Structure 1
Amino acid sequence: MTDIEFLKYPIGRFKLPENVSESTLKEAIETVRSLPDLLEEAVLTYDDQKLNTPYRPGGWSVRQVIHHLADSHINAFMRFKLALTEENPTIKPYDESSWAELPDNQLSVLPSLSLIKCIHFKWVFLMENMSNEDFQKTYYHPENKNSPTLMEVAHMYSWHGVHHLAHIQHLAIRENWLSKSISE
């Protein structure tokens, strides 16, 4: 399928679960926990040609997606800490597209995979030790003009990681990059 909407949003656009609960939060945290290993599994064997392949026409390369995830999730973790220690702090948005064009996005993906692993380790620990009241804390996003709760943000970044992992996985399927299974 080459529908551009599917290529942009292979798992659909983010939607907060209708019934946010302790159960959906645990699932979101588990997704954040598992993302680093799933990303490594998806890209560690890729050569430069594969890493430099855009996941869709006009989209970022696999390499840029990995670096973006590190940048984005570092920012998300810091936003959590700000919200936990200040009253509805105003966060600093950043231009993701411009960041994706900076020279560090030409590096190997290994540093960003390591950053993702470390940030997610700390982030999961933080979330697992937050109270229900903590998850109701907010930050103000000046671009979106809203103050999401950390509960909403946890669900959003759970989706965000899987969203970009799906970009990489669907590209691998379309390009027939998947190795043969043991049973074949």
Structure 2
Amino acid sequence: MDLEQLKYPIGRFEAPADISKQALKGFITDIRYLPSLIEIVVQTLDAAQLATPYRPEGWTVAQVVHHLVDSHTQALTRFKWALTEDNPTIKAYDEAAWAELPDVAKTPVNVSLTLLHALHTRWVNLMENLTEEQWNRTFVHPESGKTIALKTLAATYSWHGKHHLAHVEKLKERNNWH
């Protein structure tokens, strides 16, 4: 298996040109169920398996779980900024550096799973109550300079959750951890 396939088991994210109400509902559904799907896929893993990188020079399974909380907290915050400010420039963060912080190394994955469930409940409650006008609100990402609509951010994080879920699922398959 080549490195590209290990890095992007479901392919790289491509922002849809047009996002329908039906597509948005699908993205919200993906985001709603991600915490349960991640919990199911990691619940039988022991400490050594949780400490296994999903690819050479990649994050461990535990780091992936903790990263989902960090990243999706940023996503909810970006939603709130876009909903309460006029096209704000959001703050970027160094994902790789965050994955190396002591809270990631010292915190059991069940703590992050609990946070992920709570975070996604709030995020889904927010998204399910947005108007079409609110879905079209935007923010600027400082690294790319791109203006991003909340519709596109929902698509991004629908993909992001499935992307990291596939990292763990594929690792389990390759190592026969069933």
TM-score band w.r.t. shorter chain: over 0.9
- Give the fraction of aligned pairs with identical amino acids, expressed as a percent: 53
Q: How big is each residue's C-alpha offset from its partner over 1:7-44, in whole Å with a ceiling of 9 and x where there is no partner?
A: 00000000123442111111000000010000000001
Which SS does the other structure have where 2:93 is aligned?
coil
Written as runs of structure 1 = structure 2, the 5 A alignment for 1:30-179 is: 30-106=29-105, 107-178=107-178
Counterpart of 2:80, as a letter, is K
**Superposition deviation, residue 45 in structure 1:** 1.8
Extract unaligned runs of 5+ from structure 2.
none
Q: How many correspondences in the alignment?
A: 177
Counterpart of 1:5, as a letter, is E
TM-score of the aligned structures, taking structure 1 as reference length: 0.94
Asked if 1:25 is matched to 2:3, the reply is: no
Q: How big is each residue's C-alpha offset from its partner over 1:84-140, in whole Å with a ceiling of 9 and x where there is no partner?
A: 000011111000000000011112101111111011000001000000100100111
* CA RMSD in angstroms, aligned pairs only: 0.8
Counterpart of 1:21, as a letter, is S
Alpha-carbon distance in 1 for matches of 2:152, 2:93: 20
Counterpart of 2:68, as a letter, is L
Extract unaligned runs of 5+ from structure 1.
179-184
- Residue of structure 2 in register with 1:14 after alignment: 13
Alpha-carbon distance in 1 for matches of 2:15, 2:24: 11
Counterpart of 2:172, as a letter, is A
Which SS does the other structure have where 1:133 is aligned?
helix
Counterpart of 2:104, as a letter, is N
Alpha-carbon distance in 2 for matches of 1:141, 1:166: 26
